[in-house]
Structure 1
């Protein structure tokens, strides 16, 4: 007698059967194509073996009002069975599936599902839609291929596949009839295989068959660990970034990917390859960053932020406050701009009169991504993530995409930054760090949590990624919404430890012995004698640079120079005593013109309680190279009051005679200085006249250009 299975047994059996069916053990290849895609698809499938062991899903831009015969056309080029997709169709290996017209398609547990397009008219992105679904469903077994087509459909989907460690192939733009989609894909991600359509199948099969030895290891042996550490050292030297505390499994998967590309079977050989090819280090660095982002990613998070989190924050802040936010790992800026848009919408919704503003600091380790973010220009693909209302209000439509409005752009400051080693932003009200911690070891995660706690104001809000958690044990953060990963910094202060982050810029100095050893110096008699003469008998002098800053002093210069009052200033112009300060600027200008010495005679300077006459010699230095361009200034005292040659002394008061001599010397110096000033003024006038002529010439050229443009405009208007 047969036993009738119970409901529980039937349920368990169905569950087991379903789980078995969902374990797809073969790769699923999504192929996106548009204009010129039919020829590329035919070339592709003509070169796919009948038993490749893969399933192929074709997403072609089709006329929504015509059924089309694409499956029939492709069937002529391949021995595999080609099917037009119907609802809930199971994917099998060695089959080709073609999307029907006027449908969007996704995949769940290996079954294809069809939807009516959300967009009734205008831009549709069926390739992006399916690629994202494929990445979520098949994870690392997902494969995305972009063939000929216009526009940029598929680029965002390839990013999602890349994030899941899937494989990305693109038709070489040079071989494509229309290179828009291939070129957009190349700009969006690091492509694993780039080739003509007829070469892609062979390269893909070779890529999948070529599995490095590290791929099958669950436990990393010491030799592989050592080689991985060598790669980390090479990356640190090349890029300045330290990956030593990133999860080793993630690093191994990304290294394995690059080894597959170059058909290298051992990690030790790849280390050597990196040493010989610095460009590969840059590519590996980009591969490790996994810069995947989109506008309003995880829509429930942004709805929560707009409806609850921001309004509560607005209520707590005083009037006129600046809300400070930090977006960590911002990639190309979509998340930062999303926050700016939601802030504006939330502020309008609450209708308070607090005059709040938002300042966003968005940082990323990738300088290229930061440059793209600063431009604020995005492809047409963002229509899949941004509503028409937001597009019309916060973006400006351009020919090839959308430009973020100035009002939103000015709310964000983008900067390259490594969260592990660079100083953090502080006094924050909002901190976003989504999908970064999952790639880091727990030790580094805990250190970053301490850093985030330090950066946020008490009551500040932290947002993490969907797969991340606040893993501190001392109640540093209070959950606001554990499902959506909103946390609030605790108001109660907690004890924090000093954080020592690994830094590629840390230089370990050579250890020196603390014991000071006495070294006996055998001096040269000539050198010692020269030093003695220099110190005791050489005239006072100073060495200055071109700006007048004193570089070196010889002898006693106190009679000629004195420190200026206030902040310490070692500039000759500030330190020159009364009388000398008037003469030096002109003399220094002359000295700079040639190598002839410039001499000043009988300069009267004020000293402490009296006056002193001094001769000054200035010499521009040409050699040695180390002090080339410096000026040596030598002071020598005049012992007695100078007398003018051929002058007969007058009878009378000796003081009167001395006074007349001083006045005559002052007059001579004034005449020389006046002559020098006239020469400089003449030179300046000539230079200004020359500049004026150049400006007039430029003005005439601009007027001519303006007339030509006006004529062209009139011609265009008349057409």
Structure 2
């Protein structure tokens, strides 16, 4: 391909990245066949290839398209009307109009994600990405980047894909704009490339934009008027491109009458681009420097609090939890430390995803093998955050601009949110962050964010990584505006869109207790885990020493555990309600009498299946009768039986705990085995994809060779020249149909020596001459007579391979009988 300087190369109108894997060749051929020249687009194809095998994909695609097909090289400028294909064992990236090759990293390879990521950040809204047939989830995160940067995303309909894992994963993530067959995808791409959206002309459409913002606020309750205009305009432009609308006025009219479009625009505005341990240097500093300094402030230990606003799908919050565990192991502070993380976001769907804690196995590239094994549990193609990490985080939907903040924080990580907000909101948030942090608290911002004119509120710890410490001497009270949802224009909307608090678990529990019991009580599940506490239960329950445990059995005070266990077991066995009277519990050496009630909840429906435990304080001792029975010996016997029952119950509980620990140990072994099997499965899947790719290419090559062989057979037979092919040992390799008139050939003779086959020629030195030609490489030509009375011109030539090596003999027999007869008649006339 001709060498062209990048600054001299014509620029494509759009660049379409295409990713595929197993079963993708057929889809690729159908897609490129539908891309017609004339629009100035370029295609860049990444297919999972075997690293040690040469690829013939460019040759295969060239026969299905009128665009020029090239194998990508390092520094190759991307030209319009061209297709570029990734070479084997390489990763392909885009930068400033050129393609660059690099060696793929060890471990999980995600070349499609890599290409899409660089296209998204290099081209923005001029980028397009397509996911075709393939196994695994490569390309899913790359499509998310494409969409976040304003580009368009496409995926093959899984029903038309030979391997549907890749397109289905992208579709399930919600980052695909169009889903169709490969042929239809080509038409959609051409439609978008031939109908680019008109850029927003400023200041003309400001009235339309204000109307869109107002309608969006009425519909969702969220005010986007202080989003940066470029961000807002880019998202609106993207919707216009998808709808093929030419003006902002046309989009405003569509937006005015379409409620679904308001939801779609909201989703566009809330797209979060995040991943685990994004910006590695920042996390390293936080673990190695900032965390030890925070530990040093509290020598006796502390229950630390952290807030991660705009957490998106949770990767940032889980990264912080994992990093805190690593910091504890690395620095081993003297005091006891725990961390409670509050992670919030405006997008309720993203919060639901974060709560599940399930992510694609491709996060291994960001997390690393060691962290993946220690803090995640494999579940097929996905991984789930381990329970101890998940329990450190509370996820909630929150609007950071209009909802009250969390306070008394030790860490506040708000990264890459303020880059989307204008200066008005930024000047509200930074004083708010100062107010929310404790003395010496840590503030973490994104790499492109600064504290601006609020340098008096925060002291930089690491300017490069945007890590700050709260300045305790400065006050933010004068600049502080606490966000509260009190705007009168939003109240009707809130009543319509916010969930009814009367349906909540907390409200219904309180109502049930207040209506039926009034005293202190707790709501538990069948395992004894406390779901809700009403009233003061400190006399009856206390936190157990060690790791936080909110199980009622672990928190029961001395004197309560046995009775509590008995009552709960009876209710679980079918008894509707169990009441135990005149129980005693020891509180710091002072006995307190109470009544215990355990009830199985049937109504309301939201609480079905749970148990209600109510503690009722007994009347003071002076008001109760203290009559003694005369049968004191009987009382003593009953007390002894009760003590024996308690010991037996305690022994049973210990045995159960041992059994649980053994089950836990066995579960850990099974988990380790499962992880090994998952790793092997991933390796086999990768190998299977490579084999399928090679098989598809070989099948295409075999089809080409079949046609070439058919062409050669037809050519040889059409010449009516008898031809015999021999190998180096003078064994028959093949023959034409006309050769059967001279030799008694049958198909089974292939591989037999020519000397074993009867000939009609009067040519006893045929094999000797053939051996001579094989040895010297010089052809021989003779005129011989056949037993049928016909003359033949025999030509013996060496058989040369493409690498110019002699590997046999080719013998042709041309019938010259008519020429010989003519020569004889001429000779007679001359005499």
Shift of residue 216, structure 1, vs aligned partner: 5.0
Does the 8 A contact of 2:143 with 2:176 survive in 1? no
In terms of mean alpha carbon deviation, does 315-324 or 350-359 score higher?
315-324
Superimposed CA distance per residue, residues 308-365 of structure 1 (whole angstroms, 9 cap, x where no aligned partner): 1111111112423012111111111111111111111111111222111111110000
Q: CA deviation at 1:410?
A: 0.6
TM-score (ref. length: structure 2): 0.57
Residue in 2 that maps onto 1:89? 76
Summarize the Cα distance change of 1:297–1:30 in structure 2 as closer, same or farther, 3 Å threshold.
same
Please give the alpha-carbon distance, in whole angstroms, between the structure 2 residues aligned to 1:505 and 1:205.
49
Aligned 8 A contact 1:22 1:109 in 2: no
Q: Measure the CA separation in 2 of the matches of 1:23 and 1:445.
A: 41
Indicate the larger mover: 100-109 or 250-259.
Answer: 100-109
Aligned partners of 2:283 and 2:490: how far apart in 1? 49
* Residues in 2 aligned to 1:110 and 1:480: alpha-carbon distance in whole angstroms: 38
User: Structure 1 length as normaliser, TM-score?
Assistant: 0.65
With over 3 angstroms needed to count, the CA separation of the structure-2 counterparts of 1:37 and 1:474, relative to structure 1, is: closer
Aligned to 2:111: 126
Whether the 8 Å CA contact 1:457–1:489 is kept in 2: the answer is yes
2:94 to 107, 110, 122: 107
Cα distance, 1:110 vs structure 2: 2.3
- Of residues 203, 225, 228 in structure 2, which corresponds to 1:220? 203
1:587-602 equivalences under 5 Å are: none
Aligned counterpart in structure 1 of residue 321 of structure 2, from 330, 335, 340: 340
User: Cα deviation per residue 1:406-447 (whole Å; 9 max; x = unaligned)?
Assistant: 111111111000001011001111111111111111011110
**In 2, Cα distance between the equivalents of 1:161 and 1:472?**
34
Q: Which residue of 2 aligns with 1:255?
A: 236
Tell me which residue corresponds to 1:163: 148
Is the Cα–Cα contact under 8 Å of residues 170 and 182 in structure 1 kept in the other structure? yes
Q: Which residue of 2 aligns with 1:62?
A: 49
1:203 aligns with 2:184: no
The CA deviation at 1:474 is 5.5
Q: Does 1:271 align with 2:258?
A: no
8 Å Cα contact 1:240/1:505 also seen in 2: no
Counterpart CA distance in 2 for 1:428 and 1:23 is: 54
Distance 1:216 1:379, change over 3 A: same
Q: Report how far residue 450 of structure 1 moved.
A: 1.2
Q: Aligned residue for 1:308?
A: 289
Number of aligned residue pairs: give it: 492
State the distance in 2 between where 1:325 and 1:299 align: 20
Contact 1:158–1:185 (CA<8 Å) still a contact in 2?
yes
Q: Which runs of 5+ in 2 are unaligned?
A: 492-513, 517-831
Q: Displacement of 1:509 after TM fit?
A: 11
Partners in 1 of 2:269 and 2:180 — Cα distance?
Answer: 23
Higher deviation after alignment, 61-70 or 20-29: 20-29
Partner secondary structure for residue 269 of structure 1: helix
SS at 1:313 equivalent: helix
Q: Using the alignment, how far apart are the partners of 2:490 and 2:25 within structure 1?
A: 64
Q: Distance in 2 between matches of 1:505 and 1:77?
A: 63
- 1:188 pairs with 2:178: no
* Higher relative contact order (Cα pairs below 8 Å, separated by 6+ residues): 2
Residue 60 of structure 2 corresponds to 73
Which of 146, 159, 166 matches 1:174?
159
Q: Deviations over 1:70-126 (max 9, x none)?
A: 111111111111112222222222111111122222222222222222125xx4211
Distance 1:238 1:409 in 2: 33
| 8 A contact 2:39–2:193 mirrored in 1 | no
SS at match of 1:105: strand
1:394 aligns with 2:375: yes
* d(CA) in 1 for partners of 2:283, 2:343: 17
The Cα offsets for residues 235-268 of structure 1, whole Å up to 9 and x where unpaired, read as 1122221111111221111111111211222323
What's the CA shift string for 1:256-286, capped at 9, x where partnerless?
A: 1111211222323322322332122111101
Is 1:466 aligned with 2:410? no
Which whole-Å CA distance do the structure 1 matches of 2:485 and 2:408 have between them? Answer: 27
* Aligned positions of 1:613-632 closer than 5 A: none
After superposition, the Cα gap between the structure-2 partners of 1:126 and 1:475, relative to the gap in structure 1 and judged at 3 Å, is same
Q: Matches of residues 232-631 of structure 1 in structure 2 within 5 Å?
A: 232-473=213-454, 475-497=456-478, 499-500=480-481, 506-507=487-488
Q: 2:618 corresponds to which residue?
A: none
Q: Could you tell me how far apart the structure 1 residues matched to 2:195 and 2:11 are?
A: 20
- 1:356 partner SS: strand
* Structure 2 CA distance for aligned equivalents of residues 344 and 24 of structure 1: 49
Q: Sort the Cα spacing of 1:189 and 1:485 in 2 relative to 1 into closer, same or farther, 3 A.
A: farther
Structure 1 portions without partners, runs of 5+? 1-16, 511-545, 549-719
* Secondary structure class of the residue paired with 1:29: strand
Q: Secondary structure at the match of 2:488?
A: coil
Whole-Å separation in 1 of the counterparts to 2:37 and 2:479: 62
Distance of 1:457 and 1:24 partners within structure 2: 53
Residues 190, 287 of structure 1: 8 Å contact kept: no
Instruction: Report the 3-state secondary structure (helix = DSSP H, G, I; strand = E; otherwise coil) of the residue aligned with 1:71.
Output: helix
Query: Contact between 1:240 and 1:504, CA under 8 Å: does it hold in 2?
Result: no
- Aligned to 2:301, what secondary structure does the other structure show? coil
CA shift at 1:228, angstroms? 1.1
Give 1:505 deviation, angstroms. 5.8
Q: 1:142 to 1:501 in 2, by over 3 A?
A: farther
1:220 match: secondary structure = coil
**Structure 2 match to 1:27:** 14
Deviation of 1:25 (Å)? 5.7
Q: Give distance in 2, aligned partners of 1:186 and 1:483.
A: 37
